[in-house]
């Protein structure tokens, strides 16, 4: 059975995210839309980053609130998931080389911290892609073994 409080909070957070994104998108187009220098695209990318962060924070806060009110013991599991995610990000950061891009032709070379961050995100993408593939294959194998009626 769905928690009515959760549904109400989810509805209001969804409307808030939509409203903020519409206002910021309109602001970006009115502020930077006509100069043709890509500033609108950059602003909209920052808008996308802000929306992803806002959605993640909302999901985490709502999830923590609902978990704390309905099943306080599930907070331990959420904590373990967050620690695992932080450990995964740390591993990706430690594996990132931060070497300069080969064949870079831009006017301003990226800083060492930008290169390290970019490599970290790429490593996270590779790791999560690999985990997704392994999960799909393992899930199908486990499903096949469990559903096999001998």
Domain-terminating residue out of 51, 72, 93: 72
Are residue 103 and residue 63 in the same domain, yes or no? Answer: no
Write down which residue in 20, 43, 72 finishes a domain.
72
Convert the pLDDT of each residue in 59-76 to its tens digit.
778 777 777 888 888 888
Do 89 and 51 reside in the same domain of the chain? no
CA 4 – CA 10 distance, rounded (Å): 10
What range defines the domain where residue 10 resides?
Answer: 1-72
Query: Both 64 and 123 in a single domain?
Result: no
Task: Name the band, by pLDDT with cuts 50, 70 and 90, for residue 1.
Answer: very low
Residue 125: its pLDDT value, please? Answer: 93
In this structure, the answer to whether residues 11 and 29 fall within a common structural domain is yes
Q: Which helix (H) or strand (E) holds 68?
A: helix 39-70
Of the residues 38, 72, 106, which one is the last residue of a structural domain?
72
| pLDDT reading at 150 higher than 60 | no
Tell me, yes or no, whether 67 and 86 share the same domain: no
pLDDT tens for 88-147 read: 999 999 999 988 878 878 778 888 888 899 899 999 999 999 999 999 999 999 999 988
Domain co-membership, 5 together with 45: yes
H, E, C per residue of 88-148? HHHHHHHHCCCCCCCCCCCCCCCCHHHHHHHHHHHHHHHHHHHHHHHHHHHHHHHHHHHHC
Structural domains counted in the chain:
2
Q: Are 66 and 83 found together in one domain?
A: no
């Amino acid at each position: 059975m769905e928690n009515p409080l959760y549904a109400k909070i989810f509805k209001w957070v969804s409307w808030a995210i939509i409203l903020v994104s519409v206002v910021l998108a309109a602001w970006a187009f009115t502020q930077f839309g006509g100069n043709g220098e890509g500033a609108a695209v950059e602003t909209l990318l920052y808008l996308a980053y802000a929306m992803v962060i806002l959605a993640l924070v909302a999901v985490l806060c709502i999830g923590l609130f609902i978990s704390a009110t309905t099943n306080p013991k599930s907070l331990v599991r959420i904590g373990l998931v967050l620690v695992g995610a932080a450990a995964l990000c740390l591993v990706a950061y430690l594996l990132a080389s931060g070497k300069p891009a080969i064949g870079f032709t831009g006017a301003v070379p990226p800083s060492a911290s930008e290169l390290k961050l970019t490599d970290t995100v790429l490593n996270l993408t590779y790791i999560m892609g690999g985990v997704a593939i392994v999960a799909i294959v393992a899930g199908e194998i486990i499903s096949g073994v469990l559903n096999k009626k001998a």
